[in-house]
Amino acid sequence: MTAEPATITPAGPGRATLIRHLQHYGVYAAVLALVVFNALFTDHFLDLANLRTQLVQVAPVVIVALGMALVIGTEGVDLSVGSVMALAAAVLPLYLGFGAWPAAAMALLAGVAAGALNGTLVAVVGLQPIVATLALLVAGRGIALVLADGQLKQLRNPQVLGWGTDDVLGVPVVVAVAVVLAGLVGFAVHRTTYGRQLVAIGGNRPAAQLAGLPVRRVLIVTYVLSGLFAALAGVLATARLTASDPSAIGNLIELSAITAVVVGGTPLTGGRVRVLGTVAGALLIQLLRATLIKHDVPDSTAQMAQAVIILVAVYLARERRSR
């Protein structure tokens, strides 16, 4: 072990290094700390049933947050994800007559269409992402409710219900999908041209344009992916619920997803996507909520704790830019 000279740092090693480590590993450390705390102080926390429940609950948020991380990496934001989930939930039962897979395909197609609309408004028309996706946030759930006649529909298709209850290699379907997607997104960001272009555009859009990158195409693809992931989360959540409920599904999930992304260390100013951090961010929020609930801390305190955590995470991320 002669690696000691590597730790030489310029003046002021203490604070700067600490902050950098906090930024890089803070989320993971926090998740680990919560797991250890719960293992010691929460009854039945390490039971298989409880771990399954936690993972199944967090999986839709992870799926939505992955798309959100890509969008935020381009210096954008997608507020419409909750409404797109509702849209997918409303479309799914309409096409169940053709079978489970075609119905799911139509639901995903609705998500792609929604994403394409967002992407066009942002990339071609040049709207601010907040406004462009706000329009669909308002209208999307309305369309979903019109499609569904404002009613909750019970699902009886055994295959769809299976997506909510079955296991793949001992892991619930929705969790397996989230894990596979996280892997794919991580690969796309770090190992493909698309990912490099996305990060470049988020870092400096005019420069990316001048460098001849296909800015519009990358932006549209990114919003389409976000819509697709949201629709996927909508389908899986609907299967889990065993009913299509467009009025409630995905409500305020955009806030959870943005929180997960930001807590995971992806800056809102774009130019950087942290996929594993996003997954850890979602887990952190889920574990935090679960911990507070299991120790009978009221919901009011839980929400205020979440607010403080967002602020602290963003404050730490801010230091990086002014370094």
Query: Which CB, 136 or 181, lies closer to another protein?
Result: 136
Quote the least distance from Cβ 183 to another protein, whole Å: 28
Question: Which of 35, 105, 109, 145 touches another protein by CB under 8 A?
Answer: 145
Residues of span 67-86 touching another protein by CB under 8 A: 77
Interface with another protein in residues 259-298 (CB under 8 A): 259, 262, 268-269, 298
Interaction between residue 146 and another protein (CB under 8 A):
yes
Give the Å distances, CA to CA, from 313 to 37, 59, 249, 276, 292. 20, 22, 27, 16, 19
Q: Which is nearer to another protein, 195 or 271 (CB)?
A: 271
**141 and 234 Cβ atoms separated by less than 8 Å:** no
Q: Which of 141, 153, 240, 274 binds another protein (CB under 8 A)?
A: 141
- Residue 269: phi and psi, rounded to 5, are -85, 0
Closest CA to 257 of 45, 116, 32, 85: 85
Interacting positions 195-234 with another protein (CB under 8 A)? none
Closest CA to 92 of 148, 165, 136, 173: 148
**Candidate ranges 11-19, 160-168, 181-189, 255-263; the one touching another protein (CB under 8 A):** 255-263
CA distances from 228 to 26, 105, 160, 217 (A): 30, 10, 18, 16
Residue 34 in contact with another protein, rule: CB under 8 A = no
Q: Which CB, 29 or 319, lies closer to another protein?
A: 319
Shortest distance (Å) from residue 32 CB to another protein = 24
Site for another protein in 117-136 (CB under 8 A): 121, 125-128, 130-132, 134-136
Whether residue 202 contacts residue 75, with contact meaning beta carbons closer than 8 Å, is answered with yes
Question: For residues 36 and 304, which CB has a smaller minimum distance to another protein in the complex?
Answer: 304
43 HSE (CA, 13 A, CB side): 2
Please tell me whether residue 308 binds another protein under the rule CB under 8 A: yes
Backbone φ and ψ of 296, nearest 5°: 60, 30
Q: Which of 26, 67, 73, 140 binds another protein (CB under 8 A)?
A: 140
- Whole-angstrom Cα distance, residue 85 to residue 113? 13
Could you count the other beta carbons within 10 Å of the beta carbon of residue 133? 32
Angle between helices 215-241 and 158-165 in degrees, nearest 10: 100
Quote the DSSP letter at residue 153. Answer: E
The residue among 169 and 252 lying less far from another protein, judged by its C-beta, is: 252
Binding range to another protein, per CB under 8 A, among 23-31, 143-151, 166-174, 195-203: 143-151
Which residues lie near another protein (CB under 8 A)?
77, 121, 125-128, 130-132, 134-146, 150, 255, 258-259, 262, 268-269, 298-304, 306-308, 310-311, 314-315, 318, 322
